[in-house]
Amino acid sequence: MKNPLNLIAFDLGASNGRGILGRFDGEKIVMEELHRFENNYMTVNGVRYWDCLGLFHQLKQALVAFKETDCGQIHAFGIDTWGVDYGLLDKDGQLLGNPRAYRYAVDADMDNVWNVVSRNTLFERTGIASLNFNTVYQLYRRKLSDDTALANAETMLLMPDLLGYFLTGEKASEYTNVTTTMLYNPTSGDWDWETIDALRLPRKLFTKIDRAGQLRGRLLPELAEELGINRASFAAVGTHDTASAVAAIPGQGNFAFCSSGTWSLFGVETEQPIFSDLVRTANFSNEGTVQGGFRPLKNIMGLWLIQECRREWMAAGNRYSWNDIVDMARKAEPLRSIVDPDYGPFFAGGNMVEQIQDYCRKTKQPIPETVGQVARCIYESLALKYRWALERLEEIKGAKLDALNIVGGGIQNKLLNQMAADSIDRPVVTGPIEGAAIGNLLMQAVALGELKTIDEVRQVVRNSETVETYEPHHTQAWEDAYGRLLQYMT
């Protein structure tokens, strides 16, 4: 290839977003951050929303930033975000209010659906874990409340597809994010029409499903003119950020993956979904891969816990950097107090330090008081929950997993990486940091015909990114702490 392709990945998480330029020469990809921005839900009259028009503005700012690089034309762009959340459009294609944020969900939403379609039936149809924020539960809550937006909606688009629609006018739903909704049937390869009909959700809401690695239109002419750029191709990528991150894992052989950020998405890749009782009872999900397969994985409440604690410390006037917090955790007594990161009350956030202290009080453990003690409690608890997830995955696959590959922003915490290795007693390989972004970029290259297979994608990652390996130092103290975690989880 004579001239590098200019590809732009919009990678949005539940706390921040970024626009990243990738220059791909056929063998390596070099990335440059164009624009970074905050993304937080807001609460209005008791309902939690995403500011999707604000996000649309930020995407345009990234495109303006590209123009200033003087690199020529944009060959393609793609968008990935978190899963499950969506926007509703009316018959004229206009947005019917800001999308609701998944942290508005409550357990009663699940009970209401199960009164119509049982929990086991939902799993048998979709292979997805029952989590109160799944799209199926969100939509039925609105159905029961006679929500006017739902009643007037013509189309539902998941967040990355909604933002893509704003930029291109194209309406479609990409497979990897569709699988997170608990409204996709992997056996039929289509929306789960049985559940949709049973819940009396309008069929018209659900668009055609396309796959990562396909082109889906071009930038709208009026936007190209406004921004002063060419009408770049829009590529369907792994629009669920975890799918994009897993596509960029450079590992080979029999490994587990963890996409580490606000959530820790912990799993393996398979060609077919696994519907076993073990998968169901452990509340694992069969989410989609960019190559059209599946990722049996566990949603572990990841760095959300420490993010919430840091918000409290900052609000109290303590402007700790993430490195400050890690340094204080490193100096704290090891394995003094642990929690189950997936303890239900942690999900909604708020007063997280007090919630962790209450958990330790109820389980008759020493109460973490200092910043270092609280942070160490969270990091060690995550590392121990990784071991639990790894053991479940080995049972599911019926084979030993040799290593853990961690990608995403969470790998910048080297203390947690070493704790993970020590806990699971396996090597931990970390990298790349911008896993979702590089996976997004390289699936654009697939859509443009420059790459063909996931093996070629991962070879480019190996050519382009440096990884780091953490060797385990497993001790009896870790073994004893794991026994305590199992006791608290029962």
Tell me the β-bridge partners of 9.
Answer: 20, 78
The stretches of 248-370 forming alpha helices (DSSP H) are 277-281, 304-315, 322-331, 352-362
Tell me the β-bridge partners of 288.
Answer: 294
Which two three-digit tokens encode residue 490? 């029962």
Residue 145 has a CB neighbour count (10 Å cut-off) of 9
* Spacing of C-alpha 13 from chain mean position: 7
- Sign of the Cα torsion 52, 55, 59, 64 reads positive
- Rounded to whole angstroms, how far apart are CA atoms 337 and 59? 42
Q: Which of 85, 109, 241, 422 is an active site residue?
A: 241
| Residue at 374: amino acid letter | V
| DSSP letters spanning 68-97 | TTT-----EEEEEB-SS-EEEE-TTS-B-S
**Measuring CA to CA, which residue among 307, 328, 311 is closest to residue 319?**
311
- Residue 240 is classified by DSSP as B
Question: Is 241 a known active-site residue?
Answer: yes
Cβ proximity of 126 and 139 under 8 Å: no
Residues annotated as catalytic (active site), given as ranges: 241
